[in-house]
Structure 1
Amino acid sequence: MRRGDYIVYVDESGDHNLVDFDPQYPRFVLAFCIVKIEHYVDHVVPFVQRLKFEFFGHDMVVLHEREIRQRARPFDNLMNEAIRTKFMTRIDELFNSSRIDIVASVIRKPEFRERRGAQLNPYEVALEFGLERVFLQLQKRGQVGRKTFVVFEGRGRTEDRDLELAFRRILDTTTMRGMAQTLEFLCVDKKTNSSGLQIADLVARPIGIHDLRPSQSNHAWDVIEPKIVRGPNNRVRGYGLKIYP
């Protein structure tokens, strides 16, 4: 099988617990970032590396949205407002200059539980939509039948095994011709310093916050939203963004 020209990075925001979830953030978001490998190697990775050296003096830092937002170590230098402003400007530049397409699933937990019960795993529902929409984008780009890795961050041996089973179950039952021959599962250690996974991490929560509080100022959403896959009439909902229910 020929290898594809693209790679997909996936990360989540929130957990998929439907029983005891945070009432301040009753959302689960699964975000998929699609990027052409050539562009990723030539532009995205060098940009992320330069950013790390610029602000931290080394490239061992892993960009995590939560730690950046809370200014927790190693991002405690962002306590300085001038440094924080410059850092966030560079993050904006990373997204604005990178050709990344985003697909995301948002699960509204209370409504999901009421409609579907607490036994159905919202992760699998979010995953199925995401994989289908990713495949449609690859199909448009002539990638059907060309192996394209979908990269997830590991969460533990049991969770990773369950995730792979869910992934393969979706591919085994899909009605989309060529999807099973195109998408390939890859789960990597949480400590892996992957620029793609870090970008997916930066994407997921702002999407959830926008759905939760759409009238609230959300600069990260404003930067991310143009990257979300669109359908006819420039529509995002139902194309690059699935909100359930």
Structure 2
Amino acid sequence: MNDASHPRNRYFSDYVVYVDESGDHSLVSVDKDYPVFVLALCIFHKRHYADKTACVVDKNRVNRTAGTCSNPYHIALGICLDALRGFLVEKGQVDMKTHVVVECRGKKEDAQLELEFRRICAGDNPAKQVFPFDVVFADKKANLAGLQLSDLVARPIGLSYIRPMQSNQAFDVLKRKFFCDGGRHNWA
């Protein structure tokens, strides 16, 4: 089988991932009205928009158990990249290079994020596997639609975690699009 379109004969996956967050990742000063950090990954098939995966980090809980030396962004990144791997396994594309686009946040923060991203992808993750993901930093001025969408996704997820009994129409629409272990219908 020498067909270049066959997954085994391609280097890049059919997906690109856009990442954004909601909330501050600091554990030193926790906002009492929004004490969570949400990292949202919007996974797009290169031909059409697809699925989402996200992680909510309860910063008060992290402070109680791990202390302020932990970084919610790094915790969420590890969980989300592992979920992304699961998504790509389901799609038969786990061995292909997948670009993960994040918004530039500042020179120091970007360097820390890239180091953590590469550490996780090198095998320091729950699966203990190498992930073929490549981080791409995009300037806010690029105004990428994928980053705008991931920005719109993150806050409703955080609000759903903080106030689960409050009406949240945006989250109600989004939850049908989440990638979850056991399938999309497994979402509570």
Deviations 1:148-207 (A, max 9, x none): 100100001111111000000111223647643x21111111211111010000000000
Which one-letter code corresponds to 1:221 in the other structure?
Answer: F
Where structure 1 has 5 or more consecutive residues not aligned to the other structure, the ranges are: 41-99, 238-245
Specify which of 81, 91, 110 is matched with residue 131 of structure 1. 81
CA RMSD of aligned residues (A): 1.7
Q: Tell me: CA distance 1:179–1:101, structure 2 relative to 1, closer, same or farther (3 Å).
A: farther
* Residues 1-245 of structure 1 mapped to structure 2, 5 A cutoff: 2-40=11-49, 100-172=50-122, 173-174=124-125, 176=127, 179-180=130-131, 182-232=132-182, 234-236=185-187
Structure number with larger C-alpha Rg: 1
Identity of aligned residues (%): 45
Alignment check: 8 A CA contact 1:29 1:207 kept: yes
Q: Which runs of 5+ in 2 are unaligned?
A: 1-9
Kept in 2, the 8 Å contact 1:135–1:183? The answer is no
Q: What is the TM-score normalised by the length of structure 2?
A: 0.88
User: Residues of 2 paired with 1:216 and 1:175: CA distance?
Assistant: 33
Distance 2:172 2:97 in 1: 32
With CA pairs under 8 Å and 6+ residues apart, which has the higher RCO, 1 or 2?
1
CA contact (8 A) 2:25 2:73 kept: yes
Conserved 8 A contact 1:13-1:208: yes
| CA shift digits 1:9-59 (9 cap, x unpaired) | 10000011111121111010000111100114xxxxxxxxxxxxxxxxxxx
Per the TM alignment, residue 126 of structure 1 is displaced from its structure 2 partner at its CA by 0.5
CA contact (8 A) 1:144 1:178 kept: no
Q: Classify the secondary structure of the residue corresponding to 2:47.
A: helix
Q: Which one has a larger percent strand, Structure 1 or Structure 2?
A: 2
The number of residues matched between the two structures is 177
Report the alpha carbon displacement of residue 147 of structure 1 after superposing the two structures with TM.
1.1
Secondary structure of 1:16's match? coil
Q: TM-score, normalised by structure 1?
A: 0.68
Secondary structure of the structure 1 residue equivalent to 2:68: coil
